[in-house]
Amino acid sequence: MSKVDSNFALKVQDMFSSKYLFKQCIQAITLRDNFQYVIVKSNKEVMILQCAIENCKWSLRASCCIHGDRSLWVLTRFDFEHTYSVDVPLTDHRQATFNVIKDLIKNKISLAGSKLSTPKNIVHFICDEHGLSISYQKAWRACKVALDDIRGSLEDSYKMLPRFAYILELNNLGSVVEYKVDADDRFLYFFMALSASISGWQHCCLVIFIDGTSLKNKYGGTLLSSSTLDANYQIFPLAFCVVDSKNDSSWTWFSNQMKRIIGGRNEVVIVSNRHKRTSSWRVVDTIFHACEKTFNIVNFKHEMRLLESSAPGIREELEPIGFAKWSRAYSPRRRYNVMTTNISESLNSAMLKAKELPICSMLEVLRMMLQIWFFERRNEVDYQVTNFTKTIEGTLRDQIERSRSMKVNSVNNMKYQAIDETSQYVIYLPTKHFEFTMKHLSIKLLRGRMTMDIISSGIVGRPKKVRIPSRMKFKRRIKCGRYGRVGHNCKRFNFKF
């Protein structure tokens, strides 16, 4: 009853199931017709209202009567005509309480937030839609009450966790949902991995990104997340876990739950940013990234020497961590060209609004987010006509387009040298199902694989043609033989006295 139709009109003998519903209907009518009323009398048996402007005849009377086995409120008298002048200003409205404003904006606010999620936006909305001027405090209270009605309170949300876990497992067969409480039956951890994520993990790359982000509600906490990359190099969330903080106990419990998802897949690489960055890393950030991205140990040692020359003592900081944890050259498993946890940060950005919600509402928003993502990707795959994903197709097209301008020299029947403007490659052809032109390489892959080894990287900038002098060799300074001045000789002397 927060908003009534423009054609709705009260009449005598109208019945209402409660006094609260009757009063709510009257408040909605006053907001629609832009007038105010005052309460003359109100108790358990009768309620009398009249217009707030003096000498106005608008008034009504409702009384409580017994109808069968329940009580009803009946409108017994109603004078609907207003007799005040139209030039009476109505800047504020006493019936526009925060509960009435809450009913007006409740349908405009969703679970994950909307444009009316701030009091300032609510003030503008009420002014534009209903012509009412309300205070910031009233809009804030209305927004808080509306959000509590939609999302539930924080305390009740923790009490609903066992019921939420049961419904989630019932509607998503094969999901892993676990929670843990302490000895006093207080909340500790909650883990959620949907069946769609578990089944899709079997077709993703063997790299798992783990990260955590702080919750922004009243009781705080930390939301741990694990994700990977699918065949189209898109973010594929695996699991979410709500813990008290990032400590050894919470990480251990989260890792034990992740073992149930990983299953029998071996050679899994886990990328995490649990180690803190040192101050030396910030100074030599460019050199360090070049060191971690090298493909072989020879180049790694070269870059490591450059790193030590720029930041002495950094080797002693990196060796206890282990080169295999951050270097591509020493990694015992395939990292799929992944060196950072950037996709975890992107996932945290997608969960930005959900982190402010109560725990049950937050988990439901995350479930809805995964449902929308997986549905859209499934539809995209259904209309795909190629054997590769969209991202891989684009990469292959770029590589083929780039190979057209390469110059090819034969080494033997199965080995060729490809030269472009900046680099040289050695190409091994396990099968003969490739087509070549005489001077340029045009690859048409029919069967088999092509592997490329970089011989030398290109030189950045214009090639130097002048010999670089050694440190001990100094350039001879030219002096004028006539006056002994530096910077010119006798032929180029143009000094004027």
> With 50 as the cut, is the pLDDT of residue 390 above it?
yes
- Kindly indicate the confidence band of residue 241, based on its pLDDT and cuts at 50, 70 and 90: very high
Tens digits of residue pLDDT in 335-346: 666 666 677 788
Asked if the model's pLDDT at residue 44 lies above 80, the reply is yes
Segment 364-378 mean pLDDT: 91
Residue 273, pLDDT above cutoff 70: no
Q: 236 or 53: which carries more pLDDT confidence?
A: 236
With a cut of 90, say whether residue 190 has pLDDT above it.
yes
CA–CA separation, 322 and 329 (whole Å) = 12
Average pLDDT over residues 227-235: 88
Mean pLDDT, residues 368-374 taken together:
91
Q: What is the pLDDT of residue 465?
A: 52
User: Higher pLDDT residue, 236 or 409?
Assistant: 236
Residue 396 in this model has a pLDDT that exceeds 80? yes
Local confidence band at 446 (pLDDT 50, 70, 90 cut-offs): very low
Report residue 139 as tokens: 């809009």
Q: What is the mean pLDDT of the chain?
A: 76
Q: For 440, which DSSP code?
A: B
Q: How confident is the model at residue 189 (pLDDT cuts 50, 70, 90)?
A: very high
Residues above pLDDT 70, as percent of the chain: 77
- Tell me: pLDDT of 3 over 60: no
| % the chain with pLDDT above 90 | 9
Averaged pLDDT for residues 8-24: 83
pLDDT in the model for residue 271: 79
What is the DSSP track for 463-487? PP-SPPPPTT--PPPPB-TTT--BT
Tell me which residue of 174, 179, 148, 139 sits closest to 163, measured CA to CA. 179
Pick from 269-283, 354-368, 394-408: least confident: 269-283
φ, ψ dihedrals at 411, nearest 5°? -100, -50
Cα atoms found within 13 Å of the Cα of residue 359, Cβ hemisphere only: 30
pLDDT digits (tens, 9 = 90+) for 196-222: 999 998 888 888 888 888 888 878 889
**What DSSP state is assigned to residue 311?**
S
Q: Closest Cα to residue 193, out of 160, 246, 249, 236?
A: 236
At residue 450, the pLDDT reads 37
pLDDT range class, residue 386, cuts 50, 70, 90: confident
- Backbone phi, then psi, for 267, in 5-degree steps? 60, 40
Pairing, β 176-181 against β 207-214: unpaired
Q: Supply φ then ψ for residue 293, to 5 degrees.
A: -100, 0
Q: Looking at the predicted structure, is the pLDDT value of residue 437 above 50?
A: no
Per-residue pLDDT band for 438 (boundaries 50, 70, 90) equals very low
Q: How confident is the model at residue 134 (pLDDT cuts 50, 70, 90)?
A: confident
Mean pLDDT value across residues 149-167: 84
Which is it for strands 222-229 and 235-243: parallel, antiparallel or unpaired? antiparallel
